[in-house]
Amino acid sequence: MPSRSLWVDYAKAIGIILVVYGHVARGVHSAGLSIDEGIYRMVDAVIYSFHMPLFFFLSGVFFLSSLQKHGVPGTLAAKLRTVAWPYLVWSVVQGLVEIQLSRLTNGSVVPADVAALLWQPRAQFWFLYALFFISAIALPVYRWLPVRWQPAVPVLACLAYLYGNSLPGGIPLVFVIQYAPYFACGVVFGRMANVTVSSRPGWVAAAAVTLAVVAHSISLGPLGFEPVARWSHLALAMVCIVAVVACCQWLARWHLHWLAALGRASLAIYVMHILAGSGARIVMQKMMGVDAVAVHLVVGTVAGIVVPLLALGLIERLGLRGWLGLGR
């Protein structure tokens, strides 16, 4: 039986690698470098069809155990410390850096953009913003809703996703409707102690990956267009999530220390990778005259992972990890 925490760490690692690569590739494309448009759009559509839903799913896996252990006040305090606080800190840090470097980057950032962070999340930090609101809503739902009715939550969340685009509401509600189904499915998955997708996760992984490839081929087509129907977004993401979970549970037979370490550091990588990856592109393109797309993709992705890890090590040495919202 694979370790629950180990396969989750693996899944987070895979997810964060895809996040970094996706943002680096979009930065290269926005910078006007000569990247094959068809391949770019295809890969971009595949990655963005499931990598963030995967993180919401994983966030739901241990939600109930945390709620049962710490109660509503304790769990809310934990979400304030591990989700809301890093959102505030790193939105400001990255925003201030981007203001100073606006003339060198693909977009311009002004102080008003950073000041609006409470109602208008910026850049990659929308995930933390959305996760906090989803968690805050889930707390009373799973605390006071009778257990026999809780399986209805993901069903209602999916219905809200499919038909909620006509509902009025601000940005928090939009995020909740869009990503709550994956969080709720993660809660259901996490409710089953020591759950695996199968007694033979290797076979399920192979089958799920094959199904995911086929689903992408059907829904995206050769030009990499995103699926239009909302149900196809939902179905495609869930198929890919199952594939990743199965693969990671199979991989959890072996302790891959480097992969687990990436998963445990995924928050630090997430909040810092834009600055690192964009910085690498600026140095290569503006200062070194490097225009080779492959070099930008590889170096930018490596920088987006390694630089945050080095920064996290320094932050730990300085005893600032908690202050910066990166854990204790």
Q: Which residues contact 123 (CB under 8 A, 6 or more apart)?
A: 91, 94, 274
Determine the Cα–Cα distance for residues 6 and 9; give it in Å rounded to an integer.
Answer: 5
Confidence of residue 319 (pLDDT cuts 50, 70, 90): very high
pLDDT of res. 120: 87
> Would you say residue 245 lies in a domain?
no
Confidence of residue 234 (pLDDT cuts 50, 70, 90): confident
Does residue 33 carry a pLDDT above 70?
yes
pLDDT of res. 130: 95
> Would you say residue 240 lies in a domain?
no
Check residues 77 and 98 and name the one with the higher pLDDT.
Answer: 77
Q: How many domains does the structure of the chain reveal? A: 1
Q: What is the mean pLDDT of residues 147-174?
A: 82
Q: pLDDT tens digits, residue range 280-315?
A: 998 998 888 888 899 999 999 999 999 999 999 999
* Amino acid (1-letter code) at residue 72: V
> Would you say residue 20 lies in a domain?
yes
Does residue 265 carry a pLDDT above 90?
yes
Does residue 256 carry a pLDDT above 80?
yes
* Amino acid (1-letter code) at residue 280: A
pLDDT of res. 67: 93
Percent share of the chain, pLDDT over 90: 50
Residue 289 φ/ψ region, left for φ over 0, alpha for ψ in the -120 to 50 degree band, beta for the rest? left
Give me the chain's average pLDDT, please.
86
Determine the Cα–Cα distance for residues 208 and 36; give it in Å rounded to an integer.
Answer: 29
> Would you say residue 76 lies in a domain?
yes
Determine the Cα–Cα distance for residues 46 and 215; give it in Å rounded to an integer.
Answer: 10
C-alpha gyration radius of the chain: 20
> Would you say residue 323 lies in a domain?
no
Does residue 138 carry a pLDDT above 90?
yes
Determine the Cα–Cα distance for residues 35 and 32; give it in Å rounded to an integer.
Answer: 8
> Would you say residue 212 lies in a domain?
no
Contact (Cβ atoms closer than 8 angstroms) between residue 269 and residue 16:
yes
pLDDT of res. 217: 58
Which residues span the domain enclosing 132? 8-194+250-317
> Would you say residue 237 lies in a domain?
no
Q: pLDDT tens digits, residue range 198-227?
A: 556 566 666 666 766 666 555 555 444 444
Backbone phi, then psi, for 105, in 5-degree steps?
-105, 180
> Would you say residue 155 lies in a domain?
yes
